Amino acid sequence: MPQLRVALAQIDVTVGDIAGNTATVAAWTRRAADRGAHLVLFPEMALTGYPPEDLVLRASFLSASRSALQRLAAELAADGLGDVAVVVGYLDARPEPAARLGRPAGEPQNTAAFLHGGRVVATYAKHHLPNYGVFDEFRYFVPGDRLPVVRLHGVDVAMTICEDLWQDGGPIAACKEAGVGLVATINGSPYERNKDDVRCELSRRRAAEAGATLAYVNMVGGQDELVFDGDSHVVAADGRVLARAAQFQDALLVVDLELPAATASSTGRVDVRDGSAMVVERVTISEPPLPAYAAEPGQVAEHLTDPAEVYAAIVTGTRDYVRKNNFRTVVLGLSGGIDSALVAAVAADAIGADNVHVVGMPSRYSSTHSVSDAEELARRRGLHWTLVPIAAAVEAFEKTFADIGGLHGLAEENLQARVRGVTLMAMSNEAGHLVLTTGNKSELATGFTTLYGDSAGGFAPIKDVPKTLVWELARWRNAEARRRGEAEPIPEQIIDKPPSAELAPGQLDADRLPPYDVLDRLLDDYVERDRGHDELVALGYPVELVERVIRMVDLAEYKRRQYPPGPKISPKNFGRDRRLPITSAWREGTS
C-alpha cells in the first residue's frame, strides 16, 4: 500500500492578522518538512483567523485573504517547500457571485486550499454551514457543491471542513462514492466540556462511512469568548485511533499512514444523503507511490481529566484575550472569597504572577480574615498586592446622598461594590491593566451581581463556571500543586468558608439564594437544557423554587447583556449561545 507521512499543525492564530497567520503557516510547514512530512494540514480559516464574523463581508478582507493564499503558495516554493503539499483554510467567494435575496453580498465561502509546487491546485468550499449555538455561518457564507479529489503520491485525498463531519450525508458520502483513501478535515471547533470524546467518536463513525482514513486537525487558543482545544487526531477506517495531539497546546502531530492505492477515475455529479448533490473533480499531482520508507509510530496523547481540561480552557481563553488585545498586565479585586481566588490563580497561570495585580478593598463590613486570606493568597503566588480601604469613599458618597433622603437596602450595599469598580477602573486607566471581573455563572444567571460594581471590567474568566464548579476547580488546582511539589495557591480557609458578598452585617449568599448545589442543578435544566416551568416541576423541583429562580434569571437579562466576555466552557454560555430579548413579557408558567 502507498505510504504518506501526514502532519497536523495544531496552531493558534489571530482573527484579522492575515500576515502573521500566513507567516505562522509557512513556519510550521518548514517544521513539518523537517520531520519529513509529505502533506501538512492546517485548521479552518487559518489565514484569516476564526471566526472573523462580519469581517468576511468586507471586500478588502476577502481580497487580503485571497492575496495571502497566492503569496503563501509562491513563498513556500521559493523557500524550497514546493514539494510539500499543504491544506490550509482561508476566506474566498464564489467564482461568479450572484446577488440574491437571503445571500450575503459577495457570496463569501469558508474554503480550504490544496497547495503544491507554488500554486493552488484545488479549492474546496464548506458544504454544511452551521447555524446554531455560537455559529452564524448562514449569515456569512454560501455552501460549496464541489468535491475536488487530489491524487498525491498515488493516494486520493479529499478535503472537508468542520461541520461537514457533524451532518449526515454531504461530503462524507461523496468521499465514499469517489473512493478516496484519505479525508483531510480542517476544523475550528470550539471547546465544550466532554466535546473531545464526542469528536473522536464522530471521526471514527465518519471514517467508517467514507471507508477511508480520516485526519482531523483543529486549532488551539482563544478568540473572544471561544476557546479552541486542539485535540487533533487521525483515525483509520476500522475505527483505530492512530494518533492524537495534546489538548490546549500548539503541536505538530506527525503520523505515517499506509493508504489504499488510488484506482478510481470517475468524475461528475454525486447525489448524497443530505438531499443535495456534489460534483467530484479530480486533480493529479503525482501518480506513483513513494519509495518504501521506515514508518514512525503515531503518538497518542493522554487525555486531560474533566477539571484539568476546564481549567486549561479558562487559562487559555484568559491568556489569549490578554495577549491578543495587547495588554501585558491585569488587575482584579481580591476579596478573600473563592471566586476572586480562583480568578487570581487562573490569571497567574495564564500570564505569569508578576503580571497580575490584586487589590484588597475592605469596607466597614469586611471581616479581618477576608483581608488576611487575600493577602496570603497573593503572597503564595507572588502577585502584586495593594490594600485600598474604601470605607472613607463610601462614607463620602453616603454624605452626598444624605440631603436627598440617603441610600438604603440594596442601594447602600451596591454603593460599596461600585466604589470598588471605580477603584479598579482608575487603576486600569493609570497603569494600563486589563480589569478582570470575578463573577461566576450562578451569580450571573440570577442577577446576583452589581452593575458598574463587581461587573465592571474587560474580561470575565469564570463567567461560564457555575459556583459548584468553582469550588471543584479550586480544589483541583490545589491538588495539582501538591502533585508538583508546590505550595497550594489557594488557602484552604478560602475554599472552606461560607460564601458572602460582605455588603451587610453577617451577610451570606445563602440568605438570598438557594443552596448552590440545588441552584446549579436547576440552572442547568433551565438555562442549558431550555426546560420550561412545568418540565422543571415534573423533574421534582418545588414549585416555589422553580418560580423564584426563573424570575431571577429572566429579570437579569439586561445585566448579562452588559457583562464582559468570558471563556465558553459549557454547551450554552451567556453570550453567543443564548440570545434572548431584554424586553420580553414572556414568563414561564403562564399562557
Catalytic residue set: 44, 126, 162
* Sequence-separated (6 or more) residues with CB below 8 Å from residue 586: none
Closest Cα partner for 15 from 290, 224, 283? 224
Task: Please tell me the chain's helix, strand, coil percentages from 3-state DSSP, rounded to the nearest 5.
Answer: 40, 20, 40
Which strands, in side-by-side order, build the sheet including 356-360? 384-387, 356-360, 330-333, 434-435
Cell match 451587610: residue? 504
The CA-CA-CA angle for residues 244, 205, 255, to 5°, reads 30
E-state strands within 245-317: 251-258, 268-271, 277-284
**φ/ψ of residue 302, rounded to 5:** -75, 140
User: 149: part of which helix (H) or strand (E)?
Assistant: strand 146-152
Residue 253 near residue 296 (C-beta atoms within 8 A): no
Nearest CA among 32, 19, 11 for reference residue 79: 32
277-284/268-271 β-pairing: antiparallel
Q: Who contacts 445 (Cβ-Cβ below 8 Å, separation ≥6)? A: 523, 527, 552, 553, 556, 574
* Integer angstrom CA distances of residue 99 from 15, 103, 460, 527: 27, 7, 40, 39
With 0-12 / 13-18 / 19 or more C-beta atoms within 10 angstroms meaning exposed / middle / buried, residue 197 is: exposed
Amino acid identity, position 488 = E
d(CA 449, CA 501): 10
